[in-house]
Amino acid sequence: MQLTLKIWRQKNASDKGGFVTYPVSDVSKDMSFLEMLDVLNENLTEKGEDPVHFDHDCREGICGTCSLYINGKPHGPLQTTTCQLHMRSFSDGQTITIEPWRAKAFPIVKDLVVNRSAFDRIIQAGGYVSVGTGGVPDANEIPIPKTIADLAMDAAQCIGCGACVAACKNASAMLFTSAKVSQLALLPQGQVERKTRAEKMVAQMDAEGFGACTNTGACEAECPKGISITNIARMNREYFSAVVSSENV
């Protein structure tokens, strides 16, 4: 395959940045998208040009490190991570536009690499059950209905890649935040801190500068793990009932 890549290049956070067009040839359909970029980078290195920087690590679709807004969609045309996207999803001669995630809360570090530490801070605001190591009851002393455990797992599958933010027209982090709020609201272990958690995580999400939710459903449609927006509804419920009933003034 022969392809034309239109890639966003930006030296650092303060650089203005712009698109640069690169032709690539000898692309095999069995390559993953990132392997195709590896080929480009090997060629650039050979020519003495700075390779294109992008985030990636496990290349198995689970670590959530890879990103890329490909032809107008986060993680490209399929509902998967970029590392699991293969070149058979593209056609010979195609032009592919590659942009970084765009959000105020995800500042660009270099080229296609963005800083997603805002997500970490949202979790730090309350995305946990406050139990220390040791001194916990036997695992089977907390029976959990299978359906509830499954729902919690559905939400817990979030890989924190940020595709939801990238896809959302408002750069909202509702899907990410609600996935964690939901998981812990569903489980008995999360009940003790349920109200405070919802309040704090939403406050942190806002403080990071993410947008509001318009319920377009784009996040769910693009989430590589298929996290449902029912979690957003659950978070709204959790939040509203928390603010009216919690002791936090």
Partner 1 sequence: MSWVTKTLSSTLGKKLLMALTGLFLILFLVVHLIGNLQLLLPDNGESFNLYAESMATNPLIKVVSIGNFAFIILHVIYSILLTRHNKKSRPIGYAETAASTNSAWSSRNMGILGTLILIFLLVHLKGFYYEIKFGEVPMVDYAGIMYKNVFAIVAAAYSNVFYVVFYVISMGFLGFHLSHGFASAFQTLGLNHVKYSPLIQKVGIGFSILIPALFALIPIVMYIQSV
Partner 2 sequence: MILDSKIPAGPLAEKWTKHKFNSKLVNPANKRKYEVIVVGTGLAGASAAASLAELGYNVKAFTFHDSPRRAHSIAAQGGINAAKNYQNDGDSVFRLFYDTIKGGDYRAREANVYRLAEVSVKIIDQCVAQGVPFAREYGGLLANRSFGGAQVSRTFYARGQTGQQLLLGAYSALSRQVANGKVKLYPRSEMMDVVMIDGHARGIVTRNLITGAVESHSAHAVLLCTGGYGNVFYLSTNAMGSNVTAAWRAHKRGAYFANPCFTQIHPTCIPVSGDHQSKLTLMSESLRNDGRVWVPATKETAEKLRKGQINVNDIKEEDRDYFLERKYPSFGNLVPRDVASRNAKYVCDEGRGVNETGEAVFLDFRDAIKRDGKSTIESKYGNLFDMYKQITGEDPYQVPMMIYPAVHYTMGGLWVDYNLMTTIPGLYALGEANFSDHGANRLGASALMQGLADGYFVIPYTIGDYLASTPPKPVDTTHPEFQKAATEVKNRVDQLLKINGKKSVDYFHKKLGKIMWNECGMARTAEGLKKAKAEIKQLKKDFWSDVKVLGTNEELNLSLEKAHRVADFIELGELMIDDALNRDESCGGHFREEFQTPEGEALRDDENFAYVAAWKYMGENQEEELYKEPLVFENVKLTQRSYK
Residues 72 to 101: which contact partner 1 by CB under 8 A?
Answer: 72-73, 97, 99
Distance separating alpha carbons of residues 165 and 76, to the nearest angstrom: 15
Query: Quick check: 213 binds partner 1 (CB under 8 A)?
Result: yes
* Interface segment toward partner 1; rule CB under 8 A; list 71-79, 80-88, 123-131, 134-142: 71-79
Sheet holding 73-74, edge to edge: 18-24, 3-9, 95-99, 69-70, 73-74
| From the list partner 1, partner 2, none, partner contacted by residue 20 (C-beta under 5 to 8 A by kind) | none
The residue within the footprint of partner 1, chosen from 21, 136, 206, 226 (CB under 8 A), is 206
Q: Which is nearer to partner 1, 144 or 243 (CB)?
A: 243
CB of 241 to partner 1, least distance (A): 8
Asked if residues 122 and 173 have their Cβ atoms less than 8 Å apart, the reply is: yes
Q: Answer positive or negative: Cα dihedral of 178, 219, 167, 240.
A: negative
Q: 226 contacts which partner out of partner 1, partner 2, none, CB within 5 to 8 A by kind?
A: none
Give the alpha-carbon dihedral of 98, 167, 64, 30, to 10 degrees.
-50
Taken in order 135, 141, 146, 147, is the CA torsion positive or negative? negative
Which residue of 218, 224, 225, 227 would you call a contact of partner 1, by CB under 8 A?
A: 218
Question: Which residues have a Cβ under 8 Å from the Cβ of 244 and sit 6 or more positions away?
Answer: none
Task: Find which of partner 2, partner 1, none residue 107 binds, CB within 5 to 8 Å per kind.
Answer: none
Report the amino acid identity of residue 243. V
Residues that bind partner 1 (CB under 8 A): 8, 19, 69, 71-73, 97, 99, 102-105, 167, 169-172, 202-203, 205-206, 209-218, 221-222, 229-230, 232-240, 243, 248-249
